[in-house]
Structure 1
């Protein structure tokens, strides 16, 4: 058994590595690489690895971990802000797409209305496991566009329980003894959510506080995985969505001080298990069913994509989105989702569809998932027309400036203003057309472009400037980019805006003059104002600031050397600084 598992693991990882690298190189994304790798090693082609169902059961933990990480990004206040998108956009998307696709199945496949509905509703769901990583890798998850896509995906996850109830109500199979009615499933959902919220506040936070005080970093990994698996197990025991349970657990920890540590600990497991999930989907693809009715599978996949794209685009336009982002949202959510396999099995057990039909529509879902990277790649020019053509926005050009500021948001504006105040000529670059237009109303000339591209920097005159200042948000600037910048523009002194301490640690070996945390200085200024307000004299305030800065530098050095965010905790200020103690 152990030898067989090791053999399967070597084969799966080897083929996944080869195909994902190839598809990444071709710009087609990792998801398609995993799907094709799974199909190749599976029983339908080479037959090197079997038992895809068992591997799928383990791999579904990847979706659970993904939803936990998404929950960590959404504290309750932010989630409340998204309520309109979740319950308005999400409800319209699921209901309209479900009814439309059910109608197509009824017309094309000749199913009964009950069977068509049992198939059409699951096909309205999109692939959370595919869409969220695409948004994350593109840096769009926290944008308004990304939040809308996520809101719809979250409602889809919430809708699984009603869909199971609908399939059960339509069932032709004999009633299962002691099976809970639909209203009781709904009550279980509410009670489970309340219980998880209470557990997060009164059990999980004290647990992580205890682990943090003990300084046992390995225990964070254990506690994080325990949190995810326990919340998923509770929902599974109640017959509910495991991913929803993990998501709620993440939300409850989103505003805790341990959020970043949890993200760092869980993310590697999420990546591995999601890859295994898509490998399993590829292995389960019934190529014989496709070979027997290829036109039906391809035609249904195309009609599914067209219907969902058109309906989602219409909903987006109704919500006052521009037609291009509305089209992008429709294409992004046009595929079938992983929960379709679960609901098709439910429909088969309810005697609503034949096993062969479940295989056929499983193939439709898989094929539609495989098309998403191609659709997003081939429609990039159409969807990004205002950006690609500039819509009147000027591209960067070498204009003899002494400084190049990349990113003209709230951070870059301050940097640029101070440089201009000393008579330094500044060239400004940003890739947000709205920001560029707004800056123009204040008389600032900002050029459009992606300032992390070397060719664009060269066009903007980076080869002749004295100062190169990266003021972009998040973690768009990494060590590899800065090495390339140093090699291409050796005479420019490079400065970087860092997102947080983790960013500073990641940039420890980067060739630059300095990196600056985006909120540190404003936080220091606020603390100085607070101390002055309670009567602390200026000398004491200056001494406290100097001591904090010195300790913070030492702590950063320790964290960078150890690669552990808990390293250097001894440098944290935990009590009043004595007069004769520290002077900075």
Structure 2
């Protein structure tokens, strides 16, 4: 066998071995992660904690089943880029400009004040030099974008006033990575790298790169999406979505800048694209997978031996980090004029260390500002603080520290002009109801207890008053005694007869109407004495069903019969369920495959009645014709 053949065989064997190792490691990681995430989801502690502990267990510092945590962490940071891209898709440039005060005011204050306080504490308590303390304190001021933003997105609070404040701080933290790297490079004790650009050049590159991404998004990506949209091929949207995220991240990485920032700018440039929703739906699965891999990698690089060697020190440092960031951010948000609930909520949400701390600790080690042991120690501190976040948020919810305003800066219903109708809950449901009342010149007083909804409505010149409209005293302040209608359009599924009955009794001259979620809630309000209730999806589902029948060429008369029969059957079934207190009652009052005795009988009677009416009309027409 020739030397070339031997070399080829060796390369093939190495490739096969590498492939086997990758498959085995992937199987172990995904298997353990699935188990841990399911358990922690079940306990209500969130998926992030499950990923972290799964990575720590199977990683090189745990059972040693999987290695290469650092390389996986570098790859998994693409998940953060995907996350920032999706966030950017939801922020129009105009909205981003409106947040400039929060980004460069509150965000800047949080990073500078927190970083300097943490630097001082490290300098005083741990005996590091001021250069090392600064290289450790500034990164600790950063919070976990990958941990916070998914929670805000999934709860729908990313565009609320609270979510916007959190996002603004996180965005500035991402911007602050560049000057932090510059500071570390300026303090470096390592031999100078002649190829490294100076700090001013890095800042120039950042601005230049943002301008390039804006131009590419407007003049290349948007036209490309219009071309793809003409083909209507779903896989092309997937390809273009991945191309945009990865290309923007790669471009920023080639300039030694934040890949997440590049992806975010690309998302903002596509925020007003008509294909935004298709791209978002296509990229989302990749974001979920890569973020899970990121947290697995964070757990893998956690040096468990460093924790076990000095467990009390690590725990004390992690607790000190959380408490310091919580206190500083709460005070800063209060100084920026926000209520204490929002301030405390933001403090709890952003009290952990951030994933970019690992990157900056590595930079500080390479600059010979800190020893590798110190980098491991503070990496463990950051990880432990990230582990604490689900518990802190659970604690906040238990104490009812809702991240909303106390309503003190919003108008009370007693200041509202007297209206003929009071609509409680001005979401998507209440808006339609209010528009219909306004169309007939019925004066309407709008009440909502969500400050975010009040602020959004204000942007559209709609006045909504703050208060819990399910309380009698709030309705009295809105002069409900003089109202003809009180309509509850909230999505609160806990509303039952116990909540509505006192309102019905307090305002006997008003007609009380309410929205309910489903037939269970309709049964729950039975006996309250309301004048009417509508299940929130019942009418829309009937409308869609009628549209479906029309598409398969069912006659209009037959569609009308089916609708009338369905409404009658549903009313009969609901009455049976209420009288027996059992959801399984009235099961034969349904259209089911193969018939359904009651359903078939009613539909047959309707058909016979229609046929009889048709014959009567024909007979009357014949008699009229004969008489003439």
TM-score bin, normalised by smaller chain = 0.7 to 0.9
Are 1:405 and 1:468, in contact at CA under 8 Å, matched by a contact in 2? no
Find the counterpart in structure 2 of residue 88 from structure 1. 105
1:124 is aligned to 2:141: yes
- TM-score, normalised to structure 2, is 0.70
Q: Alpha-carbon deviations, 1:103-162, whole Å to 9, x = none?
A: 111112210000000010000000000010121222211100100110010000011110
Find the counterpart in structure 2 of residue 171 from structure 1. 188
Match of 1:437 among 466, 479, 485: 466
CA distance in 1 between partners of 2:178 and 2:261 (Å): 11
1:160 is aligned to 2:177: yes
Q: How does 1:74-85 map to 2 (within 5 A)?
A: 74-85=91-102
CA distance in 2 between partners of 1:467 and 1:134 (Å): 35
Deviation at 1:47, TM superposition (A): 2.1
Q: Alpha-carbon deviations, 1:410-432, whole Å to 9, x = none?
A: 7505516857999xxx9x99552
Find the counterpart in structure 2 of residue 12 from structure 1. 29
Match of 1:514 among 507, 531, 540: 540
Find the counterpart in structure 2 of residue 522 from structure 1. none
Structure 2 unaligned blocks of 5 or more = 1-17, 409-420, 455-463, 505-510, 527-531, 552-628
Deviation at 1:484, TM superposition (A): 6.8
Change (3 A) 1:255 1:483: farther
Change (3 A) 1:387 1:251: closer
Find the counterpart in structure 1 of residue 155 from structure 2. 138
Deviation at 1:203, TM superposition (A): 0.4
Are 2:339 and 2:406, in contact at CA under 8 Å, matched by a contact in 1? no
Structure 1 unaligned blocks of 5 or more = 392-402, 471-480, 497-511, 518-548, 555-584
CA distance in 2 between partners of 1:453 and 1:6 (Å): 47
Q: Alpha-carbon deviations, 1:547-583, whole Å to 9, x = none?
A: xx999x97xxxxxxxxxxxxxxxxxxxxxxxxxxxxx
Deviation at 1:207, TM superposition (A): 0.6
Deviation at 1:482, TM superposition (A): 5.5
Find the counterpart in structure 2 of residue 98 from structure 1. 115
Match of 1:242 among 254, 259, 262: 259
Are 1:106 and 1:112, in contact at CA under 8 Å, matched by a contact in 2? yes
CA distance in 2 between partners of 1:242 and 1:390 (Å): 39
Find the counterpart in structure 1 of residue 330 from structure 2. 313
Q: How does 1:196-275 map to 2 (within 5 A)?
A: 196-275=213-292
Change (3 A) 1:493 1:275: same
> Between Structure 1 and Structure 2, how many residues are aligned?
483
Deviation at 1:358, TM superposition (A): 0.2
Radius of gyration: which is bigger?
A: 2
CA distance in 2 between partners of 1:386 and 1:105 (Å): 31
Q: How does 1:385-400 map to 2 (within 5 A)?
A: none
CA distance in 2 between partners of 1:53 and 1:447 (Å): 61
Find the counterpart in structure 2 of residue 469 from structure 1. 515
CA distance in 2 between partners of 1:316 and 1:29 (Å): 26
Are 1:71 and 1:247, in contact at CA under 8 Å, matched by a contact in 2? yes
Q: How does 1:485-496 map to 2 (within 5 A)?
A: 493-496=534-537
CA distance in 2 between partners of 1:97 and 1:447 (Å): 49
CA RMSD of aligned residues (A): 3.7
Find the counterpart in structure 2 of residue 582 from structure 1. none
CA distance in 1 between partners of 2:542 and 2:98 (Å): 30
Deviation at 1:43, TM superposition (A): 2.2
Change (3 A) 1:389 1:77: closer
